[in-house]
Amino acid sequence: MTKEHFLKRLRHCLAGLPSKDVEDRLTFYSEIIDDKMEDGLSEEQAVRGIGSADFIAAQIIRDTPLKDIAKERFKPKEGTRVWIILFLVLGSPIWLSLLIAGFALFVSLYILLWTLIVSVWTVFGSLAVFAAGTAFGGVFFFMSSSPISALAALGMSAFSAGLSILFFYLSLAFSKVGFGFTRWVTYKLKNSIRKKEVA
Amino acid sequence: MDIQLKRGLLDVCVLSAIKDGESYGYKIIKDLQPCIEMSESTLYTILKRLELSGMLTVRTAEHCGRLRKYYRLTRAGLGRLADFKQEWREMIRIYNFVTQEDTK
């Protein structure tokens, strides 16, 4: 294999790596091959002594950090960057207002969820207090020799108590949903921030 | 051999190869051959790392109608070599102690 073929093959195998790093490496290998030839080796011997371009490239790729490869992969072309900025600036009345509206809608729905949760707890509390109150009322009526009123009050107390138990479990379920959703949103937010820091 | 230890030793070998004056890639590999076989890929990585850490400087000069890079040791590189020699004196003391224990 000639020096030109070797370098061409190596360049091909290193495609996708940071371009400056690739050029530096190719220059380095080119120099080594030239020095070997100056030392008396033939071009083929000099190239063979270095090894296979594919194997060398595999080692280089293995040793290159993933973030460097990703940066090179997702680097926008110079011209594209200008167009992206221009598009963002000119389109800002549209996308920015949509973003704000979307955020406001999300916050409204979040507040609505917690309002619902608080309401259900309030209903539970009211029913529990009513059940306790009517139970006392029943006892009072019983002691006042009003058995029918006492029966009615105790009946209402039992009914309210039953409903309050139902609303207790309902409130608990809604609260779990609320907290779970809050945890999920917080986790997503942290993750997105952490990715930016790492980058 | 521990990979971090090996990496440190290779760095010091390369620094030692250029301590007497500037040198270039192929010559460094040839000078190291009696001590250690080093591939061109390994040498490139070591030279880059040493350059980034300020242990050597690089200059490009013309040689027989082509360009060649020359590497020269810096003060920091000299300091690293001196530290290495000190570390190994301590290492030998520990080694002697450990092997003395084995022969008892």
pLDDT above 90: residue B91: no
A38 has a chain B CB within 8 A of its CB: yes
Which pair of tokens denotes residue A134?
């009517």
Is the Cα torsion angle A129, A131, A137, A143 positive or negative in sign? Answer: negative
* pTM of the predicted structure, to 2 decimals: 0.56
**pLDDT number for residue A20:** 87
**pLDDT number for residue A197:** 39
User: Which chain A residues are within 8 Å of B28, Cβ to Cβ?
Assistant: none
pLDDT above 90: residue A74: no
Min mean pLDDT across A81-85, B22-26, B33-37, B43-47 is at: A81-85
User: Which chain B residues are within 8 Å of A32, Cβ to Cβ?
Assistant: 25-26, 29, 40
Across the interface, whether the CB atoms of A35 and B27 are under 8 A apart is answered yes
Helix (H, G, I), strand (E, B) or coil at A14: coil
Averaged pLDDT for residues A10-17: 86
Q: How many CA atoms are closer than 13 Å to the CA of A21, on its beta-carbon side? A: 19
pLDDT above 80: residue A64: no
Helix (H, G, I), strand (E, B) or coil at A69: helix
